[in-house]
Amino acid sequence: RDLIICPLSEELVFRGCIVPPIYYFMTCYSSSSTVVLRSTIICPLFFGTAHVHHAIQKVRAGHDLSIVLLGTIFQFAYTYLFGIYVTYVYIRIGFSTLTPLFLSHCFCNYMGVPNLAILDHASMKPFKIILIILYVIGIILFINGFSTKSYMILPLGTQ
């Protein structure tokens, strides 16, 4: 379910049905230079909010409310960031296909959030600094991928 059905249905709804109308609404009421930015920030809010229901299930199961709240905030944050990424890609490819979004969503669900607890494992102590540096480099390269010069390898789509 988490590897096929959820990514497929979420991409159909949150990208396929929500992004195009908001994007086209923004073209009517925003300057052309801010349409992509505003759409990329607003649309993932729906995606992140849709994952908050997991908190209700955890509270009903008897989990500590403060732990559930912290986990929900963290889950909202990473689903929102992932939503920014796939919304941006969807806009850049001109709303032409959901396939790359679906595949990246499946991959992210499969991989999960990086397990940083492994850094405290005794066998990893010699590599701790190297792994932290590699994580930071990966984050910097990912963010740099959104710069004007680097995304020019993607098709311009409708812009």
Task: Provide the annotated active-site residues.
Answer: 10, 51
Query: Which parts of the chain fold into alpha helices (H)?
Result: 5-10, 19-29, 35-49, 53-60, 65-92, 99-111, 128-144
Three-state secondary-structure class, residue 112: coil
Calpha distance 148→144 (Å, rounded): 9
Calpha distance 133→140 (Å, rounded): 10
